[in-house]
Amino acid sequence: LAKTTQPISMDSYEGQEVNITCSHNNIATNDYITWYQQFPSQGPRFIIQGYKTKVTNEVASLFIPADRKSSTLSLPRVSLSDTAVYYCLVGDPSSKYSGAGSYQLTFGKGTKLSVIP
């Protein structure tokens, strides 16, 4: 299973752009990269998913270099409500259970983002 490494914590002021980088050196060819956000006492919530280059939605952008060994979640102009833990996941969403393989999405410890007024 591909493992991920993220910074444990980050601080940012309101209105700034925040970039959180995740390392996944053992990423497999069919693996996608997915980011989740978790607020205290809630389950994680999907933010964005990508395979290569750049993906953008209304919440964030995801940058993936050509070697795909890392990825960067970019949050534009953060506010206090963006204070949360952010998780980077690597997994193959198209794999099918065959008895010989497995389908697991493994969370790391996440990055705790604190937005300061």
Partner 1 sequence: NAGVTQTPKFQVLKTGQSMTLQCAQDMNHEYMSWYRQDPGMGLRLIHYSVGAGITDQGEVPNGYNVSRSTTEDFPLRLLSAAPSQTSVYFCASSYALATGELFFGEGSRLTVL
**Which parts of this chain interact with partner 1 (CB under 8 A)?**
32, 34, 36, 41-46, 49, 87, 91-97, 102-110
Shortest reach from residue 88's CB to partner 1, in Å: 11
Closest CA relative to residue 57, chosen from 30, 90, 34: 34
Q: How far is the CB of 14 from partner 1 (least distance, A)?
A: 26
Strands 61-64 and 53-56 come out as: antiparallel
Q: Minimum distance between the CB of residue 51 and partner 1, rounded to whole angstroms? A: 11
For residue 48, which phi and psi values (nearest 5 degrees)?
Answer: -160, 155
Nearer to partner 1, 16 or 112 (CB): 112
Query: How many residues appear in the chain?
Result: 117
Between 12 and 111, CB nearer to partner 1: 111
Kindly give, in sequence order, each residue whose CB lies less than 8 Å from that of residue 110, ignoring residues fewer than 6 positions away.
Answer: 6, 38, 85, 86, 87, 88
- Is the CB of 10 or the CB of 16 nearer to partner 1? 10
